[in-house]
Amino acid sequence: MYNVWENVLAEIEQKISPANFSTWFKDTTLLSTANDHVIIGVKNSFFVKQLRSKFLDLITEALNKNNINFTTIDFEVVSSTKNKIRSREVTTEDSIKNYIRPIKKSLETKTINNGLNSKYTLDNFVIGSNNDLAVSAAKSIIDAPGTRYNPFFLYGGPGLGKTHLVQAIGNELLRRDPSLKILYTPISHFYSDFIDAIQNGKGKEFNRKFEKLDCLIIDDFQFIVGKEKSQEEFFNIFNDLYQLNKQIIVTSDRLPSQIKTVDERLASRLTMGGAFDLQLPKFEDKCAILRAKAELMGAEIEPEAIEYIAENINTNIRDLEGEFSTILLMSEVRGLTPLELIENGSASINRTNKLRPVSSKQILEKVAKFYDLSVKEMCSKSRVANIKTARQIAMFILSKELSMSTTKIASEVGVKDHTTVMHGIKKIESDLRLNFALRDQIEEIKEQIYG
């Protein structure tokens, strides 16, 4: 998290005079981003006032650019910021009274209670040969929820637009009829809420929350794996809603019949309203998506640059977007147009068309060697900064080059569980945005892997 702050600061540094930067920002730290709540550590209360009155928009913009989601910003006075970070995690409760206005609606428009995020709309979902059937089903659901495609089962690999499309259905239904009761929830939240409710003796209330819904949207159903009790609970809720002709929408990375631990009856029920898949976008689809994003952002990018990105990113739309924003950001920072960057070789895209197959063992060896470590040291529990970073880079490369699952990566690099891996990969991804030295290092490691 603290490296993310460095990126944020780098962003801010571009925008103000060196004197201003060193006066106001040099000693700031990011204390927490938990619960969509950003807390920034400052030296004394004078800073709070100044940062708040002069630089809030700037900070907001820089946080947004670094993909930090938040609805509020607080400042907290910390006597010695560094000690504080080491001594404990600062929580929201610890934060001061220097509460700042909620960030404007246009920046982050999340509604907490129904799980819908208004940034996902049908208008900004580009229709192509990879998703047209699913989109037309989505449109008929919007016209007549609970009738034709019920349940609506949407599946496909990561980053292909499942969350976007089902959120867009929810948002559009609500726009047309604000009285509708809609709930979007990833299955993992459903599960943890359910367990909480049971533990607190509130099982009935949990049930009641669902009874009243007009539309239930469950995301990432594949994570139901092995959770028998919540599967049963879900099945009951499903049946109740279905009988009342309420719309049910479920996404997953695969068909229910391919999820081992899903009860057969539930599996067949889930797809009886029709199963639709999202596929990898073709070249034309990718170009169309990038053109739409450029227009939305008001960014200028040459058609050749768009084609170059589309041609080189073959994984999914999330990666396509990621590469696109990185190139736009680099072009801003370096003062070159996207095409110029590509032509002078600074925008070398992580090629997903692998040159030849490599093993995870080879990857671990090359990363460790590059950082002068043994594989054993790198894959230890050590929290020494350079060892930890090397480990995270290994996770990142395993994930990108071998498309390995986070659980598998966890066992390869000897960390506790897949969330540590997810965190590690995210960390590297965010560092890569502005840390050009790191980009070069990773390129070099890859050359050694494939070379």
Q: Where does this chain bind ligand ADP (CB under 6 A)? A: 125-126, 131, 156, 158-164, 289, 317-318, 321
Residues in the chain: 451
Residues 6+ apart with CB under 8 A from 125: 131, 135, 161, 164, 165, 168
**Least distance to Mg ion from the beta carbon of 348, Å?**
28
**Least distance to ligand ADP from the beta carbon of 425, Å?**
15
**Least distance to Mg ion from the beta carbon of 164, Å?**
8
- β-bridge mates for residue 275, sequence order: 153
Q: How many CA atoms lie within 13 A of 270 on its CB side?
A: 30
- β-bridge mates for residue 29, sequence order: 41
Q: Pick the closer one to ligand ADP by CB: 146 or 151.
A: 151
Q: Pick the closer one to ligand ADP by CB: 321 or 429.
A: 321
126 contact choice in Mg ion, ligand ADP, none (CB below 5 to 8 Å, kind-dependent): ligand ADP
**Least distance to Mg ion from the beta carbon of 318, Å?**
9
Is the C-alpha dihedral spanning 306, 431, 406, 228 positive or negative?
negative
**Least distance to ligand ADP from the beta carbon of 131, Å?**
6
Cα separation, 313 vs 81, in Å, equals 41
By three-state DSSP, how is residue 41 classified? strand
**Least distance to Mg ion from the beta carbon of 205, Å?**
28
321 contact choice in ligand ADP, Mg ion, none (CB below 5 to 8 Å, kind-dependent): ligand ADP
- β-bridge mates for residue 99, sequence order: 74
170 contact choice in Mg ion, ligand ADP, none (CB below 5 to 8 Å, kind-dependent): none
Give the Cβ contact number of residue 263 at 10 Å: 16
Does residue 131 bind Mg ion (CB under 5 A)?
no
Does residue 163 bind Mg ion (CB under 5 A)?
yes
Does residue 252 bind Mg ion (CB under 5 A)?
no
From residue 351, alpha-carbon distances to 252, 309, 313, 367, 420 in Å are 27, 10, 7, 18, 25
125 contact choice in ligand ADP, Mg ion, none (CB below 5 to 8 Å, kind-dependent): ligand ADP
Beta carbons of 188 and 219 less than 8 angstroms apart: no
Q: Pick the closer one to Mg ion by CB: 163 or 326.
A: 163
Q: Pick the closer one to ligand ADP by CB: 324 or 396.
A: 324
> Which chain residues interact with Mg ion by CB under 5 A?
163
